[in-house]
Amino acid sequence: MPQPIPSLDDTSLLRARTALGDFELTVCTDGTYLLDGGAMFGVVPKPLWQKRIPADAENRVQLGLNSVVVRTGRHTVLIETGIGNKQPPKMQQIHQNQALLPASLAAAGIRQEEIDIVINTHLHFDHCGWNTTLQPDGSVTPTFPNARYFAHAGEVAHGHLQLDRDKVSYLSPNYDPLIESGQMTLLDDAAIQAGPQRCLEICPGISVELFPGHTQHMMGVHIQPDRAIESRPGAAVDTPHACYIGDLIPTAHHIDPTWVIAYDLDPVRCIAERKRFYERAIPEQWLVLFTHDHATPMARVALNEKGKPVVAAPAA
Ligand SMILES: [Zn+2]
């Protein structure tokens, strides 16, 4: 018997809202979904990870699908678009996902038409699903008609290869129609790394940086109301800075640099990239935005008495 898809009440549709300098950050959600707990924690033994997140009878853990809307005053930017409504029924039964992002945006008072920039950290199915919408007549249309979409060209190329390891994660209706219509801009390593601090500005206060490992071309998104992308390690800690880190650190349970996930194409690189991320994120007290943590969508990171990165305090 298929299990009923759990529903989220209205209060769950808005995961968090906070001011960051002059910007407003709203964490919306496409709902939750289930993945194998072992896959989410790689080589970490289950007795350790299940203390933090319980597994069901089939060893699955419940994860979030957080999309962040940044209102900068000039732009309304959407980072990540969840799983969407194009999943075949069999996949939806496996993942138990609810396709709630449109309802979540509405609950947050954000119209789909006012989103003018969409950024995908990478193009796995659970990060770009609502880029497009499956209509009742079978057609696929852009969910955000007035947006320019940004993704990495390497992700598109990798997805098109349909490799044995990860072909199920790349569903071309999530991006091909937008590329064909000219609505999606594809970025490359050279363009990203040519910018200040190897970041490419998408619009004032929003920039992307490469954090390879989960995929070769995964990007994190920096949110800096003061356009402080020239800030250096040791810069004033009151410079507001948030970072949507995609699947480099999918949940607050994955803050330990070695707790990388089995889906990572290069887990060793992920450990190195996490350490590189913390070199700035901890001293500069960045607000870290987690893609897949339904309960803790954002947190600052600090070092504990043993020198290990841990959640500092949930943000208001
Ligand atoms: Zn993901």
pLDDT reading at 7 higher than 80: no
Q: How far is the CA of 126 from the centre of ligand 1 (A)?
A: 5
Instruction: Express each pLDDT in 97-132 by its tens digit.
Output: 999 999 999 999 999 999 999 999 999 999 999 999
Instruction: Express each pLDDT in 140-155 by its tens digit.
Output: 999 999 999 999 999 9
Q: How far is the CA of 63 from the centre of ligand 1 (A)?
A: 9
Average pLDDT over residues 264-278: 97
pTM recorded for the entire structure = 0.93
SS (H, E, C) the chain: CCCCCCCCCHHHHEEEEEEECCEEEEEEEEEEEEEEHHHHHCCCCHHHHCCCCCCCCCCEEEEEEEEEEEECCCCEEEECCCCCCCCCHHHHHHHCCCCCHHHHHHHCCCCHHHCCEEECCCCCCCCCHHHEEECCCCCEEECCCCCEEEEEHHHHHHHHHCCCCCHHHCCHHHCHHHHHHCCEEEECHHHHHCCHHHEEEEECCEEEEECCCCCCCCEEEEECCCCCCCCCCCCCCCCCCEEECHHHCCCHHHCCCCCCCCCCCCHHHHHHHHHHHHHHHCCCCCEEECCCCCCCCEEEEEECCCCCEEEEEECC
Q: How far is the CA of 46 from the centre of ligand 1 (A)?
A: 20
Instruction: Express each pLDDT in 232-250 by its tens digit.
Output: 455 554 689 999 999 999 9
Instruction: Express each pLDDT in 66-98 by its tens digit.
Output: 999 999 999 999 999 999 999 999 999 999 999
Q: How far is the CA of 219 from the centre of ligand 1 (A)?
A: 12
Q: How far is the CA of 247 from the centre of ligand 1 (A)?
A: 5
Q: How far is the CA of 212 from the centre of ligand 1 (A)?
A: 14
Q: Would you state the pLDDT for residue 287? A: 97
Q: How far is the CA of 127 from the centre of ligand 1 (A)?
A: 6
Q: How far is the CA of 258 from the centre of ligand 1 (A)?
A: 18
Neighbours of ion ligand 1 (CB under 5 A): 126, 247
Q: How far is the CA of 243 from the centre of ligand 1 (A)?
A: 16
Instruction: Express each pLDDT in 50-71 by its tens digit.
Output: 999 999 999 999 999 999 999 9
Q: How far is the CA of 233 from the centre of ligand 1 (A)?
A: 28
